[in-house]
């Protein structure tokens, strides 16, 4: 069986040596090379064509995110597995958007790390348990629908809806318990924000957007 070739990208000498020693002791894994910066990772990935790049995020110069993006853009067949101290959502999702196929924390045990390398090489997506929890929680959050005419305040949007229904200012004032002058000020602000010339144009815009 051909061993999977791994490029180790890590700037911390002791941690890098530990990872290299671990991988070299596993029969089906081989260290294709090492890199200590993002720029070097991009160059070495192009030269060596590894199966998997084990990528730290905190690197001197080019970050691991930028290096991941460059490697995947140049060689889509190369799988990037992030190995990081950070489990915050920003780091995780930036890495995924850059093209990483997995995200493992540096406190992972040997079996978790080597298993993640094999899984990513097979084309699977893999995450440490804590990271997987964050990913699932993010996608479980209800998505907020985009508001119609986001430039308007909630009150202005409410008044625009009443305009779309054909209500004149006095009627709007009664419905919302506002003074006629306050309603007139709101209507003027709505016209300005929507860049409409008159009530009729505002009514058309509102109805086209589903208000009223």
What percent of the chain stands above pLDDT 70?
95
Strand partners, 55: 9, 82
- 104 and 111 in contact (C-beta within 8 Å)? no
Q: Is 154-208 in the same CATH topology as 4-140?
A: no
pLDDT grade, residue 91 (50/70/90)? Answer: confident
More confident site: 47 or 147: 47
Please report which helix (H) or strand (E) contains residue 80, including its range: strand 79-84
Tell me which CATH code domain 154-208 carries. 1.10.10.10
Tell me which CATH code domain 4-140 carries. 3.40.50.2300
Is pLDDT at 87 greater than 90 in this prediction? no
Q: For the chain, what is the mean pLDDT? A: 91
Torsion of CA 114, 120, 121, 122, to 10 degrees: 110
> How far, in Å, CA of 113 to CA of 122, rounded?
14
Residue 195: both structure tokens together:
């860049």
Task: Report the phi/psi class of residue 27: left, alpha or beta, with left for phi > 0 and alpha for psi in -120 to 50.
Answer: alpha
Within 75-153, where are the H helices? 89-98, 110-121, 129-140
Read out DSSP for 2-41? PPEEEEEE---HHHHHHHHHHHHTSTTEEEEEEESSHHHH
Residue 55: both structure tokens together:
């990528």
The ranges assigned to domains in the chain are 4-140, 154-208
Residue 57: both structure tokens together:
């995020």
Q: pTM value?
A: 0.65
């Amino acid at each position: 069986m051909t061993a999977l070739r791994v490029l180790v990208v890590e700037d911390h000498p002791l941690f890098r040596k530990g990872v290299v020693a671990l991988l070299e002791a596993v029969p089906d894994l081989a260290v294709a090379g090492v890199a200590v910066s993002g720029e070097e990772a991009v160059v070495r990935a192009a030269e060596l064509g590894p199966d998997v790049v084990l990528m730290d995020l905190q690197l001197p110069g080019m970050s691991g995110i930028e290096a991941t993006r460059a490697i995947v853009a140049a060689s889509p067949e190369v799988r990037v597995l992030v190995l990081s101290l950070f489990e915050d959502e920003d780091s995780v999702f930036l890495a995924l958007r850059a093209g990483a196929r997995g995200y493992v924390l540096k406190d992972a045990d040997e079996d978790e790390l080597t298993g993640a390398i094999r899984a990513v090489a097979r084309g699977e997506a893999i995450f440490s348990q804590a990271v997987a929890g964050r990913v699932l929680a993010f996608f479980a959050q209800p998505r907020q629908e985009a508001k119609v005419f986001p430039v308007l305040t909630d009150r202005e949007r409410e008044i625009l809806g009443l305009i779309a229904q054909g209500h004149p200012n006095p009627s709007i004032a009664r419905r919302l318990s506002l003074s006629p002058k306050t309603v007139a000020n709101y209507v003027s602000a709505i016209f300005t924000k929507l860049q409409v010339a008159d009530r009729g144009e505002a009514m058309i815009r509102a109805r086209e957007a589903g208000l009223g």
